[in-house]
Amino acid sequence: MAIEIKMPRLSDTMEQGTLVKWHVKEGQQVESGQVLADIETDKATMEMPTYDAGKVARIVCETGSNVAVGETVMILAEEGESIEEAIKSVGAEAGNGEAESAAPPKRKSAPAAGTSASKTGSAAPAAAAPSPGATTSNGAGSANGAAGRMLVSPLARRIAEENGLDLRAIKGSGPQGRIIKRDVLAALGQTEETEESETAAAPGAGPAPISAPAAPLGGKVALSNMRQTIARRLVESKNTIPHYQVSVSINADPLLDLRATLNEQLASQNVKLSVNDFLVRACALAIHQHPHFNAAWKGDSLQISEHVNIGVAVALPEERGGGLVVATLRDADRKGLRQISSETKALADKARGKGLSLEEMSDSTFTISNLGMYEVDFFTAIINPPNAAILAVGAAIKKPVVRNDELAIGHEMSCTLSCDHRIIDGASGARYLQTLKQLLENPATLLV
């Protein structure tokens, strides 16, 4: 009996998912636990494993398809069952005895919502590139593998779409004629070295120079499921939560000095603490003195959590669709700097790679958003419901400061707290920042 693999619900709010990439192909044998595809949900890009073993009889939905939760995306043939029998049995179960034609038809990926004009100003739209092995309706595919087939890497497809290139006019140099990044760059008159020089400065050369954008301005861009969800949640947060902000400037010199000393001592153990690690621990410890910062609004009551779970905002790379996810460090008040550092790095790497699980993104009680690595000195952040507050942290900027009534050069770091006024009064927000300031300016207290 054939096995129908359906789109799983990978988050509590997920209604549909986008097939970002298939890791298997038709005719391939798969085992239980094997990752079949990458799925973009409303929160992140996550792996879709199979809990059955069998041979891939049909991939129903192509790369780029938006698929509702519970809809069939793949058909597996069980051991001893032929591919034809598997496809036929699925059609028969659907109440149609028309053999293969009765099985779920192949779903094409949705066309791009909009494309930009080419660099020369022409309006030639980018062709929506099928997934590897997908059949195209034009005959140009013979230059890119088997006749009628176009093989394109995801990165090459994205660059082509951003620059309004028709993939049918590009000859692939990859395996089996696959169009890869260097082929698209060559069509644009660039090389990989040229592209890298435009986006990154040489070591020690300072910030990369500002260059012209890779694609011209204008046009329409389709939003991913996650981008749409971020938009909804931000509007909901701003419309339903009465925000207010309070800021404080922190003398970061003691923190930077202690961090440098500890990293020097821990270098042999491959441990490197970040400023954010100290912030996580300081915020978690400060919550013990100000429990309302660990509360959630329940309409006629407040729910104060017994666990201090610090959410850390992680920006996703553009090649994975961009966006922001919040990774949760559970019981952060009970963990030392080394453990916080290790867990934060692991979560951030996973978020930027295969994606975080629902559990790894759930149950935060307080959130930190740190843009210091981008040399931003001040900003405000929007509360992440159901949290009562979020801390926006800027860079530790070297500037003229007053120390012990004398003018000196030192590092100052801004911390801006956005609070839910239903839960936290202005004076309470100021007192929390006062506690946080004391901890960060006397960082040795974070070691005990």
pLDDT tens profile 24-79? 999 999 998 898 998 887 766 778 888 889 999 999 988 888 888 999 999 999 88
- Average pLDDT of the segment spanning 249-262: 97
Q: Number of structural domains, the chain? A: 3
CATH number of the domain bearing residue 187:
4.10.320.10
Last residue of a domain, one of 45, 73, 102: 102
- Please report the pLDDT score of residue 214 as a whole number: 54
Residue 260 has pLDDT above 60, yes or no: yes
* Residue 183 resides in a domain: yes
- Please report the pLDDT score of residue 112 as a whole number: 41
- Name which of 225-239, 246-260, 269-283 the model is least confident about: 225-239
- Average pLDDT of the segment spanning 110-135: 37
* Residue 133 resides in a domain: yes
Residue 120 has pLDDT above 50, yes or no: no
Residue for token pair 């931000």: 234
Query: Do 243 and 154 have their domain in common?
Result: no
Which of 7-21, 209-223, 330-344: highest mean pLDDT?
Answer: 330-344
Last residue of a domain, one of 189, 221, 253: 221
CA distance 311 to 327: 5
Query: Do 197 and 247 have their domain in common?
Result: no
Residue 356 has pLDDT above 50, yes or no: yes
Q: Which residue has the higher pLDDT, 269 or 156?
A: 269
Query: Do 232 and 209 have their domain in common?
Result: no
Query: Do 213 and 231 have their domain in common?
Result: no
Report yes or no: 70 and 6 within 8 Å, Cβ to Cβ.
yes
- Average pLDDT of the segment spanning 126-134: 35
- Average pLDDT of the segment spanning 232-252: 95
Which of 225-234, 259-268, 310-319: highest mean pLDDT?
Answer: 259-268
CA distance 287 to 308: 8
pTM of the model: 0.64
Task: Work out the burial of residue 418: count CB atoms within 10 Å of its CB; fewer than 13 is exposed, 13-18 middle, 19 or more buried.
Answer: buried
Report yes or no: 329 and 310 within 8 Å, Cβ to Cβ.
yes
Residue 248 has pLDDT above 50, yes or no: yes
Q: Which letter, b or e, does each residue of 346-375 get, where b requires 16 or more Cβ atoms within 10 Å of its Cβ?
A: ebbebbbeebbebebbbebbbbbbbbbeee
Greatest C-alpha distance within the chain:
89
- Average pLDDT of the segment spanning 330-336: 97
Report yes or no: 197 and 173 within 8 Å, Cβ to Cβ.
no
- Please report the pLDDT score of residue 12 as a whole number: 67
- Average pLDDT of the segment spanning 377-397: 96
Residue for token pair 């300031």: 437
Query: Do 98 and 39 have their domain in common?
Result: yes
CATH number of the domain bearing residue 259:
3.30.559.10
- Where do runs of H (alpha helix) occur along 200-313? 225-240, 253-266, 275-289
Q: Which residue has the higher pLDDT, 29 or 152?
A: 29
Q: What is the dihedral of CA 127, 57, 31, 48, to 10 degrees?
A: 40
Q: Which residue has the higher pLDDT, 49 or 282?
A: 282
Query: Do 422 and 371 have their domain in common?
Result: yes
* Residue 108 resides in a domain: no
* Residue 31 resides in a domain: yes
pLDDT band with cut points at 50, 70 and 90 for residue 2? confident
Task: Work out the burial of residue 30: count CB atoms within 10 Å of its CB; fewer than 13 is exposed, 13-18 middle, 19 or more buried.
Answer: buried
Distance from chain centroid for Cα 104: 31
Query: Do 422 and 366 have their domain in common?
Result: yes
pLDDT digits (tens, 9 = 90+) for 401-439: 999 899 999 999 999 999 999 999 999 999 999 999 999
Q: Which residue has the higher pLDDT, 52 or 242?
A: 242
CA distance 250 to 395: 11
Query: Do 264 and 386 have their domain in common?
Result: yes
Which of 60-64, 281-285, 317-321: highest mean pLDDT?
Answer: 281-285
Residue 361 has pLDDT above 80, yes or no: yes
Sign, Cα dihedral of 440, 443, 447, 448: negative
- Please report the pLDDT score of residue 174 as a whole number: 67
Query: Do 354 and 415 have their domain in common?
Result: yes
- Please report the pLDDT score of residue 83 as a whole number: 87
Query: Do 312 and 381 have their domain in common?
Result: yes
* Residue 248 resides in a domain: yes
CATH number of the domain bearing residue 66:
2.40.50.100
Residue for token pair 């389709």: 222
- Average pLDDT of the segment spanning 308-335: 88
* Residue 61 resides in a domain: yes
Q: What percent of the chain has pLDDT over 70?
A: 78
- Average pLDDT of the segment spanning 282-295: 97
Query: Do 122 and 246 have their domain in common?
Result: no
Residue 257 has pLDDT above 60, yes or no: yes
- Please report the pLDDT score of residue 239 as a whole number: 94
Q: Structure tokens of 430?
A: 């100021």
- Average pLDDT of the segment spanning 135-156: 49
- Please report the pLDDT score of residue 272 as a whole number: 95
* Residue 107 resides in a domain: no
Can you give the residue range of the structural domain that contains 367? 225-447
Which residues are catalytically annotated? Answer: 421
pLDDT digits (tens, 9 = 90+) for 11-28: 767 788 888 889 999 999
Nearest alpha-carbon partner for 356 in 318, 391, 311: 311
CA distance 440 to 435: 9
Residue 96 has pLDDT above 50, yes or no: no
- Please report the pLDDT score of residue 138 as a whole number: 35
Distance from chain centroid for Cα 24: 23
Q: What is the mean pLDDT of the chain?
A: 81
* Residue 109 resides in a domain: no
- Average pLDDT of the segment spanning 306-326: 86
Query: Do 12 and 76 have their domain in common?
Result: yes
Which of 36-50, 215-229, 344-358, 368-382: highest mean pLDDT?
Answer: 368-382
